Amino acid sequence: MDYKKAGVDIEAGYKSVELMKKHVQATMREEVLTNLGGFSGAFSLKKIKEMEEPVLLSGTDGCGTKVKLAMIMDKHDTIGIDAVAMCVNDIACAGGEPLFFLDYIACGKNYPEKIASIVSGVAEGCVQSDAALIGGETAEHPGLMPEDDYDLAGFAVGVCDQKELITGETITDGDVLVGIASTGVHSNGFSLVRKVFEMTRESLDTYYEELGKTLGETLLAPTRIYVKALRSVKEAGVRIKGCSHITGGGFYENIPRMLPDSAHAVVKKDSYEVPAIFKLIQKNGDVSEEMMYNTFNMGIGMVIALDSADVDKAVEALCAVGDEAYVIGEIKAGEKGVTIC
C-alpha cells in the first residue's frame, strides 16, 4: 500500500504545479519576493509605507455552485476569474487596491491539465485586478469528493490609505446612485438557477434567441472585476461616498450595507435594461420580481453613491475604461433601507 493507491497522486500534484507556472508568472508584481512552490508567499510592504495611514483589507470567497456548471460543460478556464472577482471586488468596494491573491482547490482526484486550466482562470482574474497570485493549495480528497468534482475558493489582501476608505458615512439626501453593469448572473443565485433549468449538457448547450448564445455560455460568463472601474472614478477626481457590491442577497441585502442609518436608497427599475438571462430565469422559474431582486444582481454588479455634481464625470470615467454605467436612483432622508420602484 502507498499514498497513490490510497487515492492521492503526489506526482500529479507536481505536474499540476509545472503546468500552472506560466499562468502564475503573468500575475507577478515587483513586490513579490518568492517563487511558486515555497511554503508561503512573501510580499514587500515598502510601497505601503509611503501612505499616511495604511489600512489592510481582506476578502475571502468562493464561486458557490457555479462550479457545477463548469463541471457539466467541462470548461474550467473561467471559473477562476469568478473566485478572484468575488474577493477583489469586495476590497475595491472599500476603496482598496488588491495586492495579492491565494487560491484553494479541493478535488476528488488531481487531473493536472484540469487543475492548470482552473488556475489559468485564477491568473486571468489576478491580471484583471492587478493582484499577484503568490500561492495556493490543491488538495486531493479521495473518498470525500467524487473523482471528477472540485471546489474553488480564494483569499485576497489589499491596502488603502485610511483617508480614502469608502465607508458610506457621508451619504446624504440628494446623493445619486450609479450602477455599473454586470456580465450576467456572476457567482450568486446558482442554487436557484439550477432548480429553474435542467442541469444537463443538452440543456446547457441549448441556444436561446433572446440570449444570443447558449444557456451554458450565458450562465458561465465570468464575474466582472470592478477594480479598474472604481480606480478610474478615483483618478477622475471623484469621491465615491458609498459602494455596494451586488452579490448574494441582491439589491435588498447589499445596497443597505453601504448606507448610514439616516439614508434610504430609491432604485428605479426602468433606469436600465435588465439583461435577458434574468427575464428568462423569472419566466421559466415563475420567480416573483421581489425574489429576483433579493437573489440576483439583475444586471448591476456594483452600485456607487455620489454627490450629484460628480455624476457626469464618474460615468464618463467608467465608460472610458469599458464599463457601462447608469444613473439608477437616489438617496432620500429616511430609515436605512432600499425601495425598488
Domains recognised in the chain with CATH numbers: 10-164 (3.30.1330.10), 176-340 (3.90.650.10)
**C-alpha distances in angstroms, 337 versus 164, 246, 257, 279, 329?**
25, 15, 9, 25, 13
Strand, coil or helix: 250: helix
Q: Which residues contact 291 (CB under 8 A, 6 or more apart)?
A: none
Residue with the larger pLDDT of the pair 32 and 259 = 259
* pLDDT category of residue 22 using cuts at 50, 70 and 90: confident
Euclidean distance between CA atoms 146 and 166, whole angstroms:
43
Q: Lowest-confidence range among 36-45, 269-278, 279-288, 331-340?
A: 36-45
- DSSP SS3 for 7: coil
With CA atoms as reference, report the closest residue to 269 among 179, 137, 172: 179
Strands 263-267 and 337-340: parallel
Nearest to 199 by CA among 184, 220, 213: 220
pLDDT at 23: 83
φ/ψ of 138, rounded to 5, equals -115, 115
Q: What local confidence, expressed as pLDDT, does residue 14 receive?
A: 61
Average pLDDT on 238-257 reads 97
Mean of the per-residue pLDDT values for the chain?
94
Q: Are 305 and 336 in contact (CB under 8 A)?
A: no
C-alpha cell belonging to residue 150:
472540485
- Give the residue with greater pLDDT, 222 vs 13: 222
Q: Which three cell numbers stand for residue 230?
A: 472604481
Give residue 185's region: left, alpha or beta (phi > 0; psi -120 to 50): alpha
Taking the alpha carbons of 186, 226, 53, 162 in that order, is the dihedral positive or negative? negative
pLDDT bin (cut points 50, 70, 90) of residue 35 is confident
Q: What is the pLDDT of residue 13?
A: 63
Residue 297 pLDDT greater than 70, yes or no: yes
- H or E element that contains 105: strand 97-107
**pLDDT recorded at residue 195:** 96
Q: What is the pLDDT of residue 1?
A: 64
The predicted structure's pLDDT at residue 53? 96
Q: Which helix (H) or strand (E) holds 307?
A: none
Read off φ and ψ for residue 76, nearest 5 degrees. Answer: -120, 5
Three-class secondary structure of residue 254 per DSSP: helix
- With a CB cutoff of 8 Å and minimum separation 6, the contacts of 66 are 79, 82, 185, 187, 190, 219, 220
Report how far residue 81's alpha carbon sits from residue 140's, in angstroms, rounded to the nearest whole number.
22
Q: In one letter, which amino acid is 209? A: E
3: pLDDT strictly greater than 60: no
How far apart CA 85 and CA 227 sit, in angstroms, is: 9
Rounded to two decimals, what is the model's pTM? 0.94
Residue 214, pLDDT above cutoff 90: yes
pLDDT digits (tens, 9 = 90+) for 134-147: 999 999 999 999 99
| 312 three-state secondary structure | helix
Which stretches of 50-140 are DSSP H helices?
Answer: 66-73, 79-93, 112-129
* Interacting residues of 7 by C-beta distance below 8 A, sequence separation 6+: 109, 140, 142, 143
With residue 78 as reference, give the H or E element that holds it. none
- Please state the rounded mean pLDDT for residues 151-175: 97
Residue 250 · residue 293 · CB < 8 Å: yes
